Structure 1
Amino acid sequence: MSLFSLIFGNKPKSAPIAKERLQLIIAHERAEQTSAPDFLPALQQELLAVISKYVSVNADDIKVAREKKGNFEVLEVNIVLPEHERPR
């Protein structure tokens, strides 16, 4: 034993403490991301505005969904376009 360890005692190593703190910070940031404001309604309204310039659609004809698959997030957009009668 060295004189240093006799005087100050055995202090815990800083690496495990730093790792634990980092894990807490990452968990906290991930929790904040999931509770972030939802942008899907605004996206749906903007899509409706753009598509309405070219095709007549209702707000109910556009569905926007987001789901998490493993480490990825998938954005799914379903648009029901009106059927046009073809000239004969």
Structure 2
Amino acid sequence: MSLLTRILGEKKTTANVAKERLQIILAHERAGRSSSAPDYLPALQNELLEVIRKYVQVGPNDLKINVERQENLEVLEVKIELPEQGGR
């Protein structure tokens, strides 16, 4: 690192600035969420049901979605109860 870089600071590229801003926004949104389920879960569940129904007949109660916080991560758990295939 040169003396000029230390004095004037490192010039940041637009991509780096945008990345830092996005990280700040995401951290702020995650911190502001309540402990209850995120607001996108019902829409996610409906969309998953539509996709799964293209291949297998399942009911709305056959799909369970859960979000858990583990340290600094959010874990999305999806459980799908598939119908039994007869005769295999």
TM-score normalised to the size of structure 1? 0.59
Match of 1:23 in 2: none
Match of 2:68 in 1: 67
Give the alignment's Cα RMSD to 1 decimal.
1.8
What are the within-5 Å matches in structure 2 for residues 77-88 of structure 1?
A: 77-86=78-87
CA-to-partner distance for each residue in 1:25-50, whole Å, 9 max, x for gaps?
A: x9xx322xx05x61011000000000
In structure 2, how many angstroms separate the alpha carbons of the residues matched to 1:52 and 1:44? 12
In structure 1, how many angstroms separate the alpha carbons of the residues matched to 2:87 and 2:54? 21
Unaligned runs of 5+ in 1: 1-25
SS in 2 for 1:57: coil
Bigger Cα Rg: 1
SS in 2 for 1:44: helix
In structure 2, how many angstroms separate the alpha carbons of the residues matched to 1:46 and 1:61? 14
Identity %: 54
Deviation at 1:86, TM superposition (A): 1.5
SS in 2 for 1:81: coil
Aligned length: 57
Match of 1:40 in 2: 41
CA-to-partner distance for each residue in 1:27-81, whole Å, 9 max, x for gaps?
A: xx322xx05x610110000000000010000000000110101011000000000
SS in 1 for 2:49: helix
In structure 1, how many angstroms separate the alpha carbons of the residues matched to 2:71 and 2:48? 27
In structure 2, how many angstroms separate the alpha carbons of the residues matched to 1:74 and 1:86? 36
TM-score normalised to the size of structure 2? 0.59
